[in-house]
Amino acid sequence: MSRTRCFAVGGVSALVVGLLAMSTVGAAPPWKTQELSLDAGPGSVVDATVIDPDHTIARIWNETLLDAIRMDRPKPPVHSRNLFHLSVAMWDAWAAYDPVAIGYITREKHHPADVHAARREAISYAAYRLLMYRFPGGGIDPDGQPCQPGAEVSQADFTAKMNAMGYDPTFTSTMGDTPAALGNRIGQAVIDFGRSDGATEGDDLCYPDPSGYHAVTQGFLQGEIVRRVTGRSIGTFFRDEVAGPLGADFHIGLDPKHDARVGELVPPEMGPGDAMGDPDSIGARTMRSCAITGHEPRTEAWRRAEIPAAGGIGNARSIARIHSAMACGGEVDGVRILSEAGALRALEEQTNGVLVAVTEAELAELDWRERDYERTDISDRITLDDASGSLDGPIVTYVPRASAVERYERARDDGRAAIRQSYWDLVHAAFGDLGGDHLDRFLLTPSPDVPVADITLAPLPK
């Protein structure tokens, strides 16, 4: 995908546009399309569902899940699992109408007159049931934050997709051979499978057991990327591409022949998790979830294991030599480990604030979603925190059109305008997640001139 050098930035409108789901832009399909709407002008939440008739049913539901993920909190393992299980549900529904294909969980076979229509319907019901279950809302994590902050909007989007395709989202029966009943059975089967797959998702899908994701997980994830790209383990790759060429006596996974050279580590009085003060802090809980006491390096199992986030064994000279590659533009004594540009980029802060690079396609989606707003170039009004930095593309935000302002003011004066409470909470949480003083600055902005209220989205009459 080509990336246009354009950056979207702004206040409440531009920030939340980046957080809310973005539906696929396309021409209205020949079958029913409905819009979720509030007659409240620019201050309201207006969401629309557009189904592209050229997209397969699998793509429609995959993109629907991706929209929900964009509104959720960053949870890579959780959302990888959601994507996998959605694929399972859709495959099993597809395979049910193929004489040869074997389902992953369910193995039913059916022979409808219109296979294409039956598959589309069964896949939709299976996907809908699973996604409604996976984004329930209402759960609160140990930090007091909602586990799925965008669940209400996502559920409305899931339901709108069903309505737009002419399927009844209230049909929940699993009895009979209809595609809808089959889809409901498959969706429930995948839900049941997920309850016993060891992910400890919990009743409110907050994943309360942190034992599967801990302080060194990042290293394992990166090691798996290296293995899939190069075919080598992280220890082998590091030896061949970094330590070996540099002559650095550093090892990720130690050969037994070096055991006699390894000193015994004197463990600290307390492990990292216990030494971090507040036992309920994120840092303390993260370190305790994979408790390391300092005794581990004395064991043979630890020395042999390739633990990319914690298990390196070397000396001060080797560490200094490896880090010299970063300090010297990627090259040490004529041995190049990184390109100079790569080394410099690794030292740069990649993002801070609400400035986001977008592709041409994403910009088109923003234009469509913010169709009551005018895209405006504000490059000459933005000062980067780092005065030496620069951008090679325009910076844009969205400003309400005069017609939208007029409608908004009319609705406000008539008492028909309001801001949806869940939307307002999402904005508040988004600025909080940005860190620094972003939330404080947001709280200092003038209060809206319309009430913030609980509002339920409803489909427009057909």
Q: 283-328: per-residue pLDDT in tens?
A: 666 666 666 777 888 888 888 988 887 788 999 999 999 989 888 8
3-state class of 81 per DSSP? Answer: helix
Burial of 169 (0-12, 13-18, 19+ CB in 10 A): middle
Give 144-154 pLDDT, tens digit per residue: 788 898 899 99
Domain ranges in the chain with CATH number 1.20.144.10: 56-212
**Residue 203, CA distances (Å) to 72, 107, 134, 356 in order:** 18, 27, 10, 35
In 3D space, the residue among 420, 444, 453, 396 whose CA is nearest the CA of residue 43 turns out to be: 420
Residue 179: per-residue pLDDT: 97
Residue 38: per-residue pLDDT: 25
Residue 384: per-residue pLDDT: 65
pLDDT < 50 regions, the chain: 1-49, 351-353, 387-388
CB atoms within 10 A of CB 378: 14
Q: Is the dihedral of CA 6, 10, 15, 17 positive or negative?
A: negative
CATH class of 56-212: mainly alpha
CB-CB contact of 348 with 342 (8 Å): no
CB atoms within 10 A of CB 114: 11
Q: Is the dihedral of CA 128, 130, 133, 137 positive or negative?
A: negative
Q: What CA dihedral angle connects 150, 155, 160 and 162, to 10 degrees?
A: 140
CB-CB contact of 395 with 378 (8 Å): yes
Residue 177: per-residue pLDDT: 94
* Number of separate helices (H) and strands (E) present in the chain: 17, 12
